[in-house]
Structure 1
Amino acid sequence: MDVPEGRRPSLEHDDPPAASRRTSSILNPLSAVRDAMRRISSTERFPAASPARLIQNSNYGNLSEVPTNGGSDDAGMVTVDLNAPSTSRRVSRVRKSTAISPDQIRLEISQRAEELRTQGLSNPAFAEEEYDQDGQLADRMAPLPHFPSRDGAVAWRSQKISVGYDPRDVTPSAINYDDDGIRPTLDDLRRDLAAHGEDSVRQTGNERKLKRGTLGWIRGVWLWSVLNLWGVMLFLRIAWMNAQAGMGLFLVIVLMGTVIAVLTSLSTSAISTNGEVGLGGTYYMISRSLGPQFGAAIGVIFSIANAISVSLNIQGFADTVQGLLEDAHLSPFTTSALNDIRVISVVTLVLLTGFTFFGMEIASRLQLLFFTILMASIFNIVIGSIIPPNEEAQAKGFVGYSNALFRENFKPAFQDDANGRNSFMSVFGVFFPSVTGILAGTSITGDLKDPSGAIPKGTMTAIFFTSVSYIVIGWTTASVTLRHASGSVADLRAGNLTACHHDPYWAHDLSTLPDVCGKPDSPADCPCSYGSINFMEIMEIVGHFRPIILAGIFSATLSTALGCINFAPKIFQALCRDKIFPFIHIFGHGYTKNDEPYRAYALVMIIAVIFLMPSDLNFISNIVSNCFLMTYTLVNYATFDASYSNAPGWRPTFKYYNKWLSLATALACFVIMFALDWKSAVIVVGISVVLWLYVYYKNPNVNWGTSAQANTYKSALNDMHRLQRIEDHVKNYRPQVLVLTGLPCVRPALVYFANSITHGTGLLICGHVLVGESVKQRSVMASESYKWLRRRKLRAFYDYVAANSTAEGIRALIQTSGLGKLKPNILMMGFHRSWYNWSEVAMEEYTSALNEALDAKMGIALLYAKEGFDITTVVNFEKLVEDNTHEGNDQLKSAASADHVVPLELKPIEDPEVQARVRLAELFETGKKKHIVGEIHVWWLYDDGGLTLLIPHLLNRQSPWDKCKLKIFILAGQDPVAAKKEMLSLLEKFRIKADEVIPVDMEQPPGREQTQWFDRLIGGLREDGPTRNRKVSGLGVIRESEVREFGERTSKQIRLRELLLEHSSKSALTVVTMPLPKTNQSAIFYMASLHALTSDMPATLLIRGTQENVLTYYC
């Protein structure tokens, strides 16, 4: 059917609004055809560049996509859902620049319908489109949901709609794991599609997409690593190292550095292939493996190391330039040659930094040019060593190959210089910066196309390639040069070339000459100014064509400096963006589309200039070596730690590593730090420790899934298994409290008091029972509750259950809370003065909770405070949470909201009662310097195993109760003096110090006043009472039979009330042995008896043990 141009639906919406995000109802195929299509294919695709040609396979309805232009589907795609209900089909458009008209789609569908008719399929019923009054296609059902891609476009290509269980299910795709907002939630899938319509479409937030670069493993990793490994030492120090250590030990030095580099690269490859590596390279890997503490320390150290390495290489370049200027009599152009080097270095630094503004693509091309020059320089040295030298070159120490020279230079000849005594380790320290380029590839992960694949291949091949080149260049140079030479052609002709330094192989006739040069006290006019140990530019003489060698020196130094200038700012940028350290986030800002950290570039320049001022390569190299060694230590340890944790998330695709070898390499790197230069090692380690401690105590709110977290779980699990094998013993008894608080922030005083008992050394669980529908955002409630606990430094757990009743929920908590031996052994609840306002059901549930605990062999504790505990009315809920944990002050309610969140702070308080509860919470809060002054009275009247005595003793050990006196009240019996003496003896055996023991007489009958008070309390609740304010039922009234049955017991409780009011009405805390509930005693009568022990009293703890010992006086 033809559609008016203005009424045709557009397929070109880049990101249509929710209201118009409806797809077209275009065709209604036969039910048989629809079923066949559903079995075979879920979607049908048409390239948008031109109409697609649909071909029919052997199965009915299988439509294959065949682009008529031979192109790929990159031009755009239209997706037709073949599994929509028969009343509707829809076509969705993926946002692309090329469009396909609805008429073309309609034509293809009509052709396909005709083909189906010719196959004998009856009753084709393709419906016409229906348009609403606005000219838009009208759907006959709610649209299928779509899930936005990271840039806001509909991601039908990545998020194919499945037809297996639910049309909103998505097939496995990488984007689901890259962005949590893409995959539909359980609530989305469980909701009725037609009922919710557009509500099923979920929008993602503003997620930053990691834009990958275009560099492969050769240009992105291998080339940068090779050029960084070919640093300033390649032409300026290789000959000197051979002269000092000899060819044999030089080989050992190179192999040592290679082994460390290879083993560290194995560890780096393992980490880098365990998922995608984000921006920041080495910092990112360590911080996400070991946590922010190690990551922050190494991020700073590694950034500084790269910044100093810039100084090291530019210094080498400036030395060479200054030497050329001096040869041309153009230096010094300032006050001294040293200042010339500084000026050249700073100018070079500014120019190199300018190159970084063009991005990594231009820098990589420049590095390719440097590599070509360096390869030409290496070949030039090899070729030059073969060509016989002239007299001038021989006078400067280049004498060509000979067996005698090889044997002499193979042995070490360490000599002192201005930096002090040289040794194997000092030479190794000079060489080691040459192998620090192995992390070059990891430092520019944001510019790599495939970091996980490129880093292992590029790094390992670069190490072997450069190690071979160092050995070749070093041995070639050492085989043709003397250690010492005067530089005079006349001395060469006279045979006195090495007379400046005694050499038995080259001056046999001069063996009587004193060996005076090369010593700390050598004369100023000593002629030993040439030779490999004195003349650092000896390779310029060995090379066949000197300009190529000079170009090689410039390329080696500038390429490495350029790399470090790129690496250091980007590493530091990633560190700043994590906002672990304050005040440095400004350096994380990026500019241009390439996100260049210009501010970090400026900071690196300042650091580089500072280290350019000493103008001493050996001094700078020691600092660089230890910074990189510290980085290597943590990289290797990170691999060991991640592998040792056996976490399911540790799945590196690179398998050629060993966790124990990584640990050994980490230890070796740490030892080498101090062997090289213990002073700089102490500085580097000290800075790292300070940074680690800062981040540790700051405890940034990040969750990176580190190996430390995995090890914590592993350690806890192993400890739980070990604990399970340990037999219970009274000496190891610890109170493990399940306190029914609801949300912890709602009853803080109750939480604080329970924490005073466990005080971080025992298990504390805050139980929350919600009656009614389960809160769907349970994880949010738990997360916010733990935040509240952590802010108050409370070592407690939060456990939540949803149940049909409070009793059922408490029963579930008692049975399921804890794990193994870490299960609660005490149930604590609050006891409220308004219990008589409860319903019969609430009262029965309260007493049944006590019985459930006793049945589970748990002690029970009820805390009473006249102020109460609930501060719900002043808690600043973002959305009100119905707190249904029963504490005795309100009825149970049902919460149906799915958007519950947990409060963080308090609202302004106007209610005096709530103000009193808040003050009580502040009084009970642990960890404060303030203390409660007063007395703790313990009424240990009946032996329950010692729990009544142990709990106040534990309270008395910690703040805020540690300043209180402890008084023990006991039954006097027939002989009060003997009873007191026996109790003092028992306390001494228990090693519990009491300030006073007071016997009391419980045998006397209660006075008339308190008896009448209790009669008034229960008068209106009795079965035959004059006032009937409750329904007559087994739960709602106190039966006369139980009044008679428990008359004697009630009389003693009234007598105990008299004694409590007499002795403990002014105490800070009163602890009383709780009477147990009886099976034939009504809940209301039992609550009345508890009320008699707490009414008109200060804070009172009613407690009862399990009749099993929790105290012992045996060793």
Structure 2
Amino acid sequence: MASKRVDWGRFGLASDAEREASETTRLKDPALEEGYYGGQDAELFAEEKGDVPWWKSTFFVSERVLFGTWDGVFTSCFVNLLGVIVFLRAGWVVGEAGVPLAALAILVSVVVVLTSVVSAVGICERTRMESGGIYFLISHVLGSQVGGSVGLVYCFGQTVGISLCVTGFGESMAKLLDLRWMWAEEAMGAAALLLLALINVAGVKWVVKVQFLLLLLVLLAVIDFLVGSFLKHPEEAGVTGWSAVTWANNTRPGYTEDNSWFTVLGVFFPTVTGIMAGINMSGDLRHPARDIPVGTLSALGLSTVLYLMFAVVLGATVERKVLLTDYMITEKVSALGVLLLIGLYTTTLSSTLASLYGSPRVLQSIAGENVVPFLSPLAKGKGPNKVPVISLVVTVVVTLVFLMVGRINTLAPIVTMPFLATYATIDYAYFALAMTADMQRKREARFRRRPARAPPAWCLPPTITPALSQTKTTSARRKVA
């Protein structure tokens, strides 16, 4: 019987030739350098970690999958940023505040989250990112206790945001199907929530594959809306087409009841709170320090352009009274209402899917650090990607509670405060890290510039001082000679 050749390289006993060949292979594949097991251990565990592109992996084989800039970060961020509020409340925002102030609310929201994104990117560049997303960023700089408390606040905001998305989905589906049942909206939202939770349990591969399909449908809906604004519509719909008169009427504010610009900002701001979805994927990325900045900033830039486009198109084509009362006005403006409805439903589902991916993983990381002892059962994961099933169940239960008691205009302001607190903490964490790093760099530079000199005789031990004196005496005699 032929003897099986032992791979001694796995135990650190390879020959010089084998070790050189292994090093060449590692340099050709950067993923081995920053793989799941990381650093020098990448060679030792290269077979076990399963570092293959997600599109080459099979559906039903349980293996670890890592993602990149566009398939991981950009897709997750963009489907979160183009949420239900853009389709169902963009007209109301323009009708209340007018086009200029609506654009100001959009830009203020974007600037607030952009500041936090830049801070998060700075932390990513100065640290080695691990799983945990928001919790890891904060706890790595400010400690696990601060990171755990802020992480729980962030998860609460995400949970209310999920209920906001499924509430919008249930509201639109109930109107579309003309359901008269009192709990019809809540039932439709709960059904969608449970379906997306099952997709998350199936694994991160399923989440990303479904997100790509939903992203395509959302982009088709946006194109349908833009093309439809140039077409002629029935007069009774309140859609005038591109009109200078309509634009002039919609430039001034027209607040109703107790509403103000800050009310409008509070309703719109939850749209941009999904910006951290890519950071929450840190544990499933090949190169987090490179993928997170590019993917996140690209998604935010494209989303900002689409926000402003919606505000301008609605302000120039729809009468104000219709903007204030008809939440489905975007469907009437579009060329094919079916495409926009599909986009509305898919953006709701995609935002919910991405949030259901991120929040349980933050909870899992907090529980894994044992910051809050009674949360320790939430640290358990399923499969190679450590899918947080128990944390996902807790998130779904809390979401169902808010789904049963809230409406979109009620839930939207509740979402705002937890995210503002999280963003402020991220900004402070980056400030503290940057100041500490600069101080350390200056301290090292000061010691490098200081010339080396011998210590004075009085600080030397007694056994060294006579010898040093003898050496000085010998040197002096040589000079005299």
**TM-score range relative to shorter protein:** 0.7 to 0.9
C-alpha separation in 2, matches of 1:226 and 1:620: 22
Partner letter of residue 78 of structure 2?
V
Partner letter of residue 396 of structure 2?
M
The secondary structure found in structure 1 opposite 2:17 is strand
Confirm or deny that 1:434 pairs with 2:271. Answer: yes
Aligned partner of 1:387 in structure 2 is 231
More strand by share: 1
Give runs of aligned pairs for residues 92-171 of structure 1, distance below 5 A.
none
Cα distance per residue 1:288-320 (max 9 Å; x no partner): 111123201111011111111110100011110
- Does the 8 Å contact 1:370/1:559 carry over to 2? yes
Cα distance per residue 1:105-136 (max 9 Å; x no partner): xxxxxxxxxxxxxxxxxxxxxxxxxxxxxxxx
* Residues 600, 246 of structure 1: alpha-carbon distance in 2 compared, 3 angstrom cutoff: same
Give runs of aligned pairs for residues 953-968 of structure 1, distance below 5 A.
none
Partner letter of residue 606 of structure 1?
V
C-alpha separation in 2, matches of 1:581 and 1:476: 49
- Does the 8 Å contact 2:145/2:371 carry over to 1? no
Note the C-alpha offset of 1:636: 0.6
The secondary structure found in structure 2 opposite 1:576 is helix
Note the C-alpha offset of 1:396: 2.7
One of 425, 434, 440 as aligned partner of 1:643 = 434
Confirm or deny that 1:402 pairs with 2:243. Answer: yes
One of 185, 192, 195 as aligned partner of 1:348 = 192
One of 155, 163, 184 as aligned partner of 1:303 = 155
Query: How many residue pairs were aligned?
Result: 422
Give runs of aligned pairs for residues 26-65 of structure 1, distance below 5 A.
43-45=16-18
Aligned partner of 1:475 in structure 2 is 312
TM-score normalised per structure 2: 0.81
- Does the 8 Å contact 1:540/1:549 carry over to 2? yes
Confirm or deny that 1:244 pairs with 2:96. Answer: yes
Give runs of aligned pairs for residues 239-278 of structure 1, distance below 5 A.
239-278=91-130
The secondary structure found in structure 2 opposite 1:532 is helix
Give runs of aligned pairs for residues 458-607 of structure 1, distance below 5 A.
458-484=295-321, 531-607=322-398
- Does the 8 Å contact 2:157/2:419 carry over to 1? yes
C-alpha separation in 2, matches of 1:648 and 1:355: 47
C-alpha separation in 1, matches of 2:349 and 2:273: 16
One of 168, 178, 184 as aligned partner of 1:316 = 168
C-alpha separation in 1, matches of 2:441 and 2:137: 13
Cα distance per residue 1:560-607 (max 9 Å; x no partner): 011111111011000000001111110110112221111011000111
Quote the RMSD (CA, aligned, Å): 3.1
The secondary structure found in structure 1 opposite 2:324 is coil
- Does the 8 Å contact 2:275/2:300 carry over to 1? yes
The secondary structure found in structure 2 opposite 1:479 is helix
C-alpha separation in 2, matches of 1:23 and 1:381: 63
C-alpha separation in 1, matches of 2:252 and 2:7: 78
Cα distance per residue 1:476-526 (max 9 Å; x no partner): 012111122xxxxxxxxxxxxxxxxxxxxxxxxxxxxxxxxxxxxxxxxxx
Partner letter of residue 398 of structure 1?
V
C-alpha separation in 1, matches of 2:49 and 2:140: 18
Confirm or deny that 1:448 pairs with 2:285. Answer: yes
- Does the 8 Å contact 2:226/2:334 carry over to 1? yes
C-alpha separation in 1, matches of 2:17 and 2:97: 72
The secondary structure found in structure 2 opposite 1:44 is helix
C-alpha separation in 2, matches of 1:545 and 1:302: 38
- Does the 8 Å contact 1:213/1:446 carry over to 2? no
Note the C-alpha offset of 1:73: 4.8
The secondary structure found in structure 1 opposite 2:437 is coil
The secondary structure found in structure 1 opposite 2:229 is helix
C-alpha separation in 1, matches of 2:208 and 2:280: 14
Partner letter of residue 448 of structure 1?
L
Note the C-alpha offset of 1:650: 8.6
- Does the 8 Å contact 2:65/2:205 carry over to 1? no
- Does the 8 Å contact 1:587/1:600 carry over to 2? yes
Confirm or deny that 1:630 pairs with 2:474. Answer: no
The secondary structure found in structure 2 opposite 1:400 is coil
Larger Rg: 1
- Does the 8 Å contact 2:93/2:102 carry over to 1? yes
- Does the 8 Å contact 1:245/1:412 carry over to 2? yes
Partner letter of residue 601 of structure 1?
L
Aligned partner of 1:377 in structure 2 is 221
One of 182, 205, 212 as aligned partner of 1:368 = 212
Aligned partner of 1:785 in structure 2 is none
Cα distance per residue 1:532-569 (max 9 Å; x no partner): 10010011111111111100110111110111111110
- Does the 8 Å contact 1:272/1:452 carry over to 2? yes
More helix by share: 2
Note the C-alpha offset of 1:175: 2.7
One of 259, 262, 277 as aligned partner of 1:425 = 262
Cα distance per residue 1:907-934 (max 9 Å; x no partner): xxxxxxxxxxxxxxxxxxxxxxxxxxxx
- Does the 8 Å contact 1:213/1:449 carry over to 2? no
Note the C-alpha offset of 1:642: 0.9
Aligned partner of 1:58 in structure 2 is none
Aligned partner of 1:745 in structure 2 is none
Partner letter of residue 360 of structure 2?
P
Give runs of aligned pairs for residues 702-741 of structure 1, distance below 5 A.
none
The secondary structure found in structure 1 opposite 2:226 is helix
Q: Which has the higher contact order (CA 8 A, sep 6+)?
A: 2
Aligned partner of 1:232 in structure 2 is 84
Cα distance per residue 1:409-430 (max 9 Å; x no partner): 01110112xxxx1100010011
Confirm or deny that 1:411 pairs with 2:252. Answer: yes
Note the C-alpha offset of 1:435: 1.0
Aligned partner of 2:401 in structure 1 is 610
The secondary structure found in structure 1 opposite 2:386 is coil
- Does the 8 Å contact 1:642/1:650 carry over to 2? no
Note the C-alpha offset of 1:210: 12
Cα distance per residue 1:725-753 (max 9 Å; x no partner): xxxxxxxxxxxxxxxxxxxxxxxxxxxxx
Partner letter of residue 164 of structure 2?
L
Note the C-alpha offset of 1:44: 2.6
C-alpha separation in 2, matches of 1:454 and 1:650: 27
* Residues 73, 427 of structure 1: alpha-carbon distance in 2 compared, 3 angstrom cutoff: closer
- Does the 8 Å contact 1:234/1:556 carry over to 2? no
C-alpha separation in 1, matches of 2:438 and 2:231: 60
C-alpha separation in 1, matches of 2:309 and 2:36: 51
Give runs of aligned pairs for residues 856-935 of structure 1, distance below 5 A.
none
Aligned partner of 1:358 in structure 2 is 202
Partner letter of residue 453 of structure 1?
R
Note the C-alpha offset of 1:22: 7.5
- Does the 8 Å contact 1:643/1:650 carry over to 2? no
The secondary structure found in structure 1 opposite 2:323 is coil
* Residues 462, 209 of structure 1: alpha-carbon distance in 2 compared, 3 angstrom cutoff: same
Note the C-alpha offset of 1:9: 9.5
C-alpha separation in 2, matches of 1:309 and 1:261: 16
* Residues 23, 365 of structure 1: alpha-carbon distance in 2 compared, 3 angstrom cutoff: closer
- Does the 8 Å contact 1:274/1:650 carry over to 2? no
Cα distance per residue 1:12-41 (max 9 Å; x no partner): 46867xxxx9789xxxxxxxxxxxxxxxxx
TM-score normalised per structure 1: 0.36
Aligned partner of 2:452 in structure 1 is none
* Residues 305, 480 of structure 1: alpha-carbon distance in 2 compared, 3 angstrom cutoff: same
